[in-house]
Chains A and B, each alone.
Chain A
Amino acid sequence: MSLAEKYPKEVKQILAKYPPEHKRSAVMPLLYLAQSQEGYITKEAMQDIASTLEISITDVGTIVGFYTLFHDKKEGKYRMQVCTDLPCALRGADQFVESLCANLGIRVGETTSDGLLTLEAVTCLAACDRAPMLQIQSKDGLKYYEDMTADKTMELIDTLKKSGAEVK
């Protein structure tokens, strides 16, 4: 089912933001909409968006490849993205990531065996005063968690586990 069939109202709203002769502008918001289904963007979705915007699938693919928040592969249900850039690192972000790795038994870039969580180290998230911090990206969007500790993060993961009982 195409995005326009599944989400007619949203697609219409997105296209209305841009001049009709420049509908290619809608590629990023449409990709977010596509990603909200499975947590990653399928080739079929890219083809669908390409047809809607009258551009090639290659044009859509370059956007998916260029921007780090678009994903074309299935990973953990939740992507836990910890900022390890300079200001956060000056407040212990590297040690924070190490303790998360130890607690979860995975390395940065890996997914837990239950498929719940992928741990990523990312560049600055503009929350330098509340480090260590992380964001969680899922198909439902993005959320910040600031002034974190390893213990608080493990509690958060427990909550996610309980809410995500159906994870495969």
Chain B
Amino acid sequence: MSYVVLRHRDIPDIHTLDVYKKNGGFEAFQRAVTKMKPNEVTGMVKASGLRGRGGAGFPTGSKWAFITDKSSWPRYVVANADESEPGTFKDREIMESNPFQFLEGVAIASYAVGANAAYVYLRGEFWQAAKFLDEKIAEMGKAGYLGDKLFGTAYSLHIHTHLGAGAYICGEETAMLESIEGKRGMPRIRPPFPAVYGLYGKPTVVNNVETLTNLPMILAQGPEWYKSLGTSDSAGVKIFSLSGRVRKPGNYELPFGTTFRQLIYEHGGGVQDGRPVKAIMPAGASSSFIVANEKVLDTPMDYASVRALGADLGSASVIVIDDTVSTEWIINKTIHFFKHESCGKCTPCREGTYWMMHLIEDLRDGKHSPSNVDLLLTVAKQMQNKCLCPLGEFSTMAVVTGIERFPQDFSK
């Protein structure tokens, strides 16, 4: 099967405008603008079953449809290139290697919701990727794919990059909008959702890089083709970022429904030193732990099947843990991460991550007692459902499931 998103692996030099155009580049965008109504584009994306690839898995077409003819103007599209979840490293590969397909996706989304300006929000560490995209955006402008009155129609579009400066929280869509507005990246209360009150208070769609990069192919080959690639629950292909104790970590674009075993053993070359898989974190540091066994390894990776295992597929950042690693050591890492990244707006998250950090450091330093473990579990559970954005919740997932599903790691 040929690649849908990581097409640079099939087509050398697709990052150049000539090669991209020779391979059908910008035909989908041009056809949309000149021959389709915006709601027809949205309809196609709805029919494809495409769901958001940033983690939440919300149907993309439905997200766009919240912006209607009656929505106010101007409108904005924001591409979420903040990629900061420990274990996720797919968006950078897309932007560095297949930039025009991503930017064409931004353009298609913008046309569908009637936006004349789009921002690509990159995490500050993607400094070089941002400079690269700036060059590509300029090339598109010169070639007539961006600018005023495109293809002789009344539709105009400008794309700008905006560089963050080191804050995981800005991957949360409302924090990202605050950040573009020149403020600290702190999440807003929702509702209203960005489709109603987004960037500068205007209707806004925020989509992940991988989501957007699927769009030119969906428009070119049709929703039925896209649906045929995945499962009934999860259409299409997904980039699985495989990391941890595997022999060949990396990005693997595979149809939804591929099993954990296929990903880890066929593609990832198996576990280092031939050790058994102890646990899987399917959505990066925000994951619940899945206790690995033969049945789990044969589970298809789609949203519903992973949820049935008591976890979420999220952005499909699959971290593989072998039997040499203690769950206690892992949650020490994840708690420190979330403590560092909590924006401080909500008390349960700000204080909860602080106290979890002290409790896990006590455990690390050998102050083991059943009451310390119980207290850590209690603090984590008290945080749940009490924060404005998912960060607070995410910080508790590995803690709660680590203690509950691997009690032997906490009973020294």
Restricting to B123-137, which residues have a CB under 8 Å from any CB of A?
123-128
Write out the residue numbers on chain B whose beta carbons fall within 8 Å of the beta carbon of A66.
Answer: 167, 184-185, 343
Verify A142–B124 contact, CB threshold 8 A. Answer: yes
Expressed in whole angstroms, the Cα–Cα distance for A141 and B83 within the complex equals: 19
Q: State which size class the interface on B falls in.
A: 35 or more
Interface residues of B (CB under 8 A from A): 83-89, 91-92, 123-128, 160, 162-168, 179-185, 200, 241-245, 249-251, 284-285, 317, 319, 321, 325, 330, 333-334, 337, 340-341, 343
Verify B164–A123 contact, CB threshold 8 A. Answer: no
Known: A25-B181, A66-B167, A85-B337. A126 touches B123 (CB 8 A): yes
Verify A26–B84 contact, CB threshold 8 A. Answer: no
* Distance from A86 Cβ to chain B, minimum over Cβ atoms (Å): 4
Interface size in chain A (residues, C-beta < 8 A): 42
* Distance from A70 Cβ to chain B, minimum over Cβ atoms (Å): 5
Verify B84–A128 contact, CB threshold 8 A. Answer: no
The interface-forming segment of A2-10, A28-36, A108-116 is A28-36
Expressed in whole angstroms, the Cα–Cα distance for A68 and B168 within the complex equals: 10
Verify A86–B319 contact, CB threshold 8 A. Answer: yes
Write out the residue numbers on chain A whose beta carbons fall within 8 Å of the beta carbon of B126.
Answer: 126
Query: 4 more A-B contacts (CB under 8 A) besides A90-B325, A128-B319, A135-B125?
Result: A25-B162, A32-B163, A87-B249, A126-B83
Return the chain B residue nearest A86 by Cβ: B333
Which of B91, B165, B241, B285 contacts A68 (CB under 8 A)? B165
Verify A126–B200 contact, CB threshold 8 A. Answer: no
Say yes or no: is A125 at the interface (Cβ < 8 Å to chain B): yes
Expressed in whole angstroms, the Cα–Cα distance for A112 and B95 within the complex equals: 35
Expressed in whole angstroms, the Cα–Cα distance for A139 and B250 within the complex equals: 31
Which of B86, B179, B242 contacts A123 (CB under 8 A)? B86
* Distance from B137 Cβ to chain A, minimum over Cβ atoms (Å): 11
Write out the residue numbers on chain A whose beta carbons fall within 8 Å of the beta carbon of B85.
Answer: 124
